[in-house]
Structure 1
Amino acid sequence: MNEILAVTDKLALFTFIVFTMLGAGLGLTIQQIWEPLRNPRLVILSLLTNFVLVPLFVYLLLQVVHLSEPLRDGLLIMAVASGPPALPKLAHIVKGNIAFSVGLMMLLMLGTIFYMPIVLPLVVQGVQINSWEIAEPLLLMMVSPLLIGLFIKAKFAAIAPTLQPILFKISNAGLLLGLVIRLVIHTNDIIGLLKTGTIFVCAVFILFSFSIGYLLGGPGIDTQRVLGVGTAQRNFAAALLVGTSNFDDPSVVSIIMVTSILMMVIVLTAGPKFTVIEEGKVLEVEQTQLS
């Protein structure tokens, strides 16, 4: 039964990522993706947030909160893995800048390919990482469908609006199916981490990541939302690859999976509510100014 669930989970993940990227490509142009990245300040702050501030915070947090070595290693792996495959979907959910989400995802993903092999061995003992092993699945599942979508949009623009809603429905189905299956598979892990209090450390990790990303994600609210969720949701695909290939202790993979589930649940549940509250505050300010 567990084997069937594991295979279904992989298929759901593949469906979610591929159809999300394909649908994103159908709705954008290369110019639209590139335009937000022409802001040097935004690019520098995005890199600083994901590759310096979040890993440093998690490292310092784990010096204060003492966890077992496998749990500590798993959280550090998640901290240095950036560029979440789900970012365009999350940006859509929180009404963020979709073009910036795609550009940011590509920027962080490429950065992770070079960053992880250098930094992770400095904080986690016994890790050996091959950059190409991380890059290959990410390029196959994320970059390739994005390029196909961009090509269809450029050459067959008339069919793009018809295809895009269908692809996003398939993507949503993959996301929900994968989330449900992971909750089923890792229920015992979640209960165990609740008993030890580790899951609260994960929550602090996520809340800090979102907050620092949101605060540094200007110039607009739409880019703040994207950097917020893009920093809170780490690249679990890269983290899982490193965890499964370098560690025999199942606790390492468990903490990676549970943290990724918690990240997704928090963004899916709190993200839309936060957006509504935020828009309400903006409306109040505008009405005050007008009066």
Structure 2
Amino acid sequence: MDSPWLLASLPFALGVVMLGLGLGLTVDDFLRVGRQPRAVLVALLCQVVLLPVVCFGLALAFRLPPELAVGMMLLAASPGGPTANLYSHLFGGHVALNVTLTAINSVLVVVTMPIVVNLSAGHFLADEADIGLQLGEVLKVFAIVLVPVVVGMLVRARAPEAARWLDRPVRALSLVVLAVVISAVLYGAWEDLADYFVAVGLAVLAFNVVSLLVGYGVPRLAGIDRGAAVAAGFEIGIHNTAFAITVALSPALLDSAEMAVPGTAYGIVMFFTAAGFGWLMTRGRTREPVPGARTPVEPA
């Protein structure tokens, strides 16, 4: 899994995804989010506090091997993925809320990820690991998330026809590059892949399903409107697996192929579960108009 070209491709993959999302956003989307601070706060509490607790319980319940358990906690501590924004875009969620949550989490991760990973390493590993997340790496991810979005928004504002022309091919390319990254990781770990997936597969699936349910259900219980709750469900249920894989593989950080496996497995599972979640959110319902929502994809 330790492939230089793979690590070098991750920023490109994230940048393409965020550019595509920026092409569909306007400044008004963010201004509307500013009038919904409760939605942002509730989603952040779910993602930063509740999910690591849930993930820790699942790692214990499934009796995961130490490296895979720490990899699961690394996944739980990762920010929401750009793919979450894409799914929210497709299924009528509040996309600007997704982008805002991704941006905020990309800042918070400089504090939350070292805490979560260090505590879990101290618990699950025989020798306590002192794992630090360099500020430069977090700032790099933060820039990869925000800069392409700003570029996309500028294109839409200054050249709306070009933005409409670019929207579909960029969206398709974003799926392709992410799939290539996941495929490369799978290829690199092919010899041990079956054993890894047997050990972590059910735990990853359970964590994914619980994350989607928590992300949607808790905001709804808190009185958040449906469009924002759908966005929160995708944001909390779809982690930035490319980020988690990068941290796990990077020699300067964890330098562990085993810890990258939960992120890889999650990156495969989440595409199907998120599609099912989105289908359930749109099935047989006339959705209420919500700020920042996009036209949903009708189920086949």
Aligned length: 273
What is the CA–CA distance in structure 1 between the aligned matches of 2:83 and 2:99, rounded to whole Å?
A: 10
Q: CA deviation at 1:210?
A: 0.4
Match of residue 131, structure 2, among 128, 135, 160: 128
Change (3 A) 1:211 1:78: same
Q: CA deviation at 1:45?
A: 0.9
What is the CA–CA distance in structure 2 between the aligned matches of 1:10 and 1:94, rounded to whole Å?
A: 31
What is the CA–CA distance in structure 1 between the aligned matches of 2:107 and 2:164, rounded to whole Å?
A: 26
Match of residue 39, structure 2, among 34, 39, 42: 42
User: Within the alignment, does 1:61 sit opposite 2:58 as a pair?
Assistant: yes
Residue 82 of structure 2 aligns to a residue whose secondary structure is coil
Task: Tell me which residue corresponds to 1:101.
Answer: 98
Amino acid at match of 1:270: G
User: Within the alignment, does 1:262 sit opposite 2:269 as a pair?
Assistant: yes
Task: Tell me which residue corresponds to 2:206.
Answer: 204
What is the CA–CA distance in structure 2 between the aligned matches of 1:271 and 1:64, rounded to whole Å?
A: 25
Q: CA deviation at 1:8?
A: 7.2
Amino acid at match of 1:234: H
Amino acid at match of 1:277: R
Change (3 A) 1:264 1:41: same
What is the CA–CA distance in structure 2 between the aligned matches of 1:136 and 1:221, rounded to whole Å?
A: 32
Q: Is this contact kept in 2: 1:83–1:105, CA < 8 A?
A: yes
Q: Is this contact kept in 1: 2:73–2:116, CA < 8 A?
A: no
Amino acid at match of 1:263: M
Residue 279 of structure 1 aligns to a residue whose secondary structure is coil
* 1:16-49 Cα distance to aligned partner (Å, 9 max, x none): 4323322333332334214224323212211110
Q: CA deviation at 1:222?
A: 1.4
Q: CA deviation at 1:14?
A: 4.4
Change (3 A) 1:29 1:177: closer
Give the fraction of aligned pairs with identical amino acids, expressed as a percent.
20
Change (3 A) 1:102 1:178: closer
Amino acid at match of 1:238: F
Q: CA deviation at 1:204?
A: 0.6
Q: Is this contact kept in 2: 1:82–1:109, CA < 8 A?
A: yes
Change (3 A) 1:41 1:241: same
Task: Tell me which residue corresponds to 1:146.
Answer: 149
* 1:203-224 Cα distance to aligned partner (Å, 9 max, x none): 1100110001001234222111
What is the CA–CA distance in structure 1 between the aligned matches of 2:237 and 2:51, rounded to whole Å?
A: 9
* 1:175-201 Cα distance to aligned partner (Å, 9 max, x none): 1353266247527455334433x2011
User: Within the alignment, does 1:235 sit opposite 2:236 as a pair?
Assistant: no
Q: CA deviation at 1:82?
A: 1.7
Amino acid at match of 1:201: A
What is the CA–CA distance in structure 2 between the aligned matches of 1:185 and 1:238, rounded to whole Å?
A: 13
**TM-score (norm: length of structure 1):** 0.81
Q: CA deviation at 1:10?
A: 5.6
* 1:131-184 Cα distance to aligned partner (Å, 9 max, x none): 424323313322111122333444x1xx22432442442232231353266247
Which consecutive unaligned segments of at least 5 residues does structure 2 have? 123-128, 289-300
Amino acid at match of 1:70: E
Which consecutive unaligned segments of at least 5 residues does structure 1 have? 283-291
Amino acid at match of 2:231: V
Task: Tell me which residue corresponds to 1:244.
Answer: 249
Change (3 A) 1:44 1:79: same
Task: Tell me which residue corresponds to 2:76.
Answer: 79
Amino acid at match of 1:228: G
Residue 43 of structure 2 aligns to a residue whose secondary structure is helix
Change (3 A) 1:221 1:160: same
What is the CA–CA distance in structure 1 between the aligned matches of 2:72 and 2:13, rounded to whole Å?
A: 24
What is the CA–CA distance in structure 2 between the aligned matches of 1:160 and 1:128, rounded to whole Å?
A: 45
What is the CA–CA distance in structure 1 between the aligned matches of 2:31 and 2:193, rounded to whole Å?
A: 39
